[in-house]
Amino acid sequence: MQNIAVGLDAIELSAIAKASVVSKVVKEVTLGPNSKGVICDDASYKSGGVHEVGKINCLSLSPSVMRHSNMISSSIRSIEREDHSSRSVMKLMYELDQQRQMKVKDLIQERFLQMEKDSLICQSELNIKYDYIQCEIEAKMFHEEQQILHQLQEDEILAIQRQQQLAQEHRQHAQVRQKFYISLKCKKVCQL
């Protein structure tokens, strides 16, 4: 009965308990349009006797039934107290659950903020690494360009030197040829 009592109010429990006591004694309809018109007063009800009103008997409860009724009433009162205490417990459990949910929500929010902070730190580190690598690439490209430019300058200097050397050789060759022609002319003139 206590399992059923959890969902019921005190008035409903009282009505059900009293109905269970009365239902053992009353065999016919007593309320509504189909009732037989039984009338009992409290004195005859408590005396435990049977009284006749019209053609229908009014039964009063025996002492054992009264003890049973008193036990049920006391159990109803205890259930009402338990119901009140269970409501208090349920309210307390609800409040604790609300507090737990708020703590979980706060922890989730804190974790989310920490993850966001970690993400920003990681993004910052990636940006620094990217900038460093970009600077290294630019420095390497600048160095390679400088090497190529230096190599081109050296090649140009060597080409100029080679050209000057070839021009020098050509002049020397021209001078030798000139001397040869002059010496040839001199020999021809001398031979004549």
Domain locations along the chain: 2-92
The Cα 69–Cα 16 span in angstroms is 12
Task: Decide: 2 and 79 in contact? Cβ < 8 Å.
Answer: yes
**pLDDT value of residue 38:** 47
The Cα 186–Cα 192 span in angstroms is 10
The H or E element that residue 122 is part of is: helix 63-191
Instruction: Give, as one character, the DSSP assignment of residue 91.
Output: H
Encoded tokens for 2: 């206590």
**pLDDT value of residue 26:** 67
Coil, helix or strand for 124? helix
**pLDDT value of residue 84:** 60
The Cα 67–Cα 46 span in angstroms is 12
**pLDDT value of residue 37:** 54
Task: Decide: 22 and 61 in contact? Cβ < 8 Å.
Answer: no
Mean pLDDT by 10 residues, the chain (192 residues): 53 71 67 59 47 43 56 63 67 88 94 95 95 95 95 94 92 88 79 66
- In order of 35, 128, 167, 190, the CA distances from 182 in angstroms are 167, 79, 22, 12
pTM score, whole prediction: 0.36
- Residue ranges of E strands in 54-99: 56-59
List, in sequence order, every residue forming a beta bridge with 61; answer none if it has no partner. Answer: none
Residue 56 phi/psi, 5-degree rounding, is -110, 140
**pLDDT value of residue 8:** 57
Hey, what's the torsion of the CAs at 90, 91, 92, 98, to 10 degrees? Answer: 110
